[in-house]
Amino acid sequence: MTITNSHPWNRRAGESFEDYSLFLFFRNVGPSRTLRAAYTGYLQEFGMEQRGPKVVRATRSWRDKCAEFEWVERAAAWDAHNLQTVGARIAALHGQAMLQLAERMCRAVHKAKPGDASWGDLLRGMQEVGSFLTPELVTGIYARFGEDCEA
């Protein structure tokens, strides 16, 4: 296998498969990762008994590998990459879902009367949708679409 360094989170020259798999375990804990959390999760994943106190400190070997192969920096690069590639998609899907919710609520408001049992739910839904309409967002929408917003 050829080792490529096209991304910082890829396996590095001199990094064994075992060392790289430990890095992957650390990386995949997620953005709030700690070496302790990764090591504890590793022990649990592979059914290894924890000796001593409930809180386990990563072994010297793990700490050395973390420093030598720059796990923290590589994992942060992984997080940033994922945020760039999927973050925009998630934001677009969230916006689409909010739009669908707002459209459904608009139709329901036209049918409902203030005394109806569903009126409170509609008001809470409008508050939820409205919480995403910050002044900056509304200003940006108006700047982009201008008078079309007034329809």
CA-CA distance, 78 to 27, in Å (whole number)? Answer: 8
Confidence of residue 67 (pLDDT cuts 50, 70, 90): very high
Give the mean pLDDT of 27-31. 93
* Per-residue b or e along 38-59, where b marks 16 or more CB atoms closer than 10 Å to that residue's CB: bbbebeeeeeeeeeeeeebebe
Structure tokens, 16: 């064994």
Q: Please identify which residue in the block is written with the tokens 């504890």.
A: 40
pLDDT one-digit tens code per residue, 70-127? 999 999 999 999 888 887 788 788 778 878 887 888 888 888 877 777 788 888 887 8
At residue 121, the pLDDT reads: 83
Single-letter amino acid code for the residue at 29: V
- Single-letter code of the amino acid located at 33: R
Kindly report the pTM of this predicted structure: 0.57
Burial class (CB in 10 A: 0-12, 13-18, 19+), 129: middle
Work out the end-to-end distance of the chain between its first and last CA atoms, rounded to an integer number of angstroms: 61
Q: Lowest mean pLDDT of 4-8, 22-26, 142-146, name the range.
A: 142-146
pLDDT of residue 34: 95
Q: Residue 96 has what pLDDT?
A: 82
Mark out the alpha helices in the chain (DSSP H runs). Answer: 17-27, 35-45, 60-68, 71-111, 119-130, 135-145
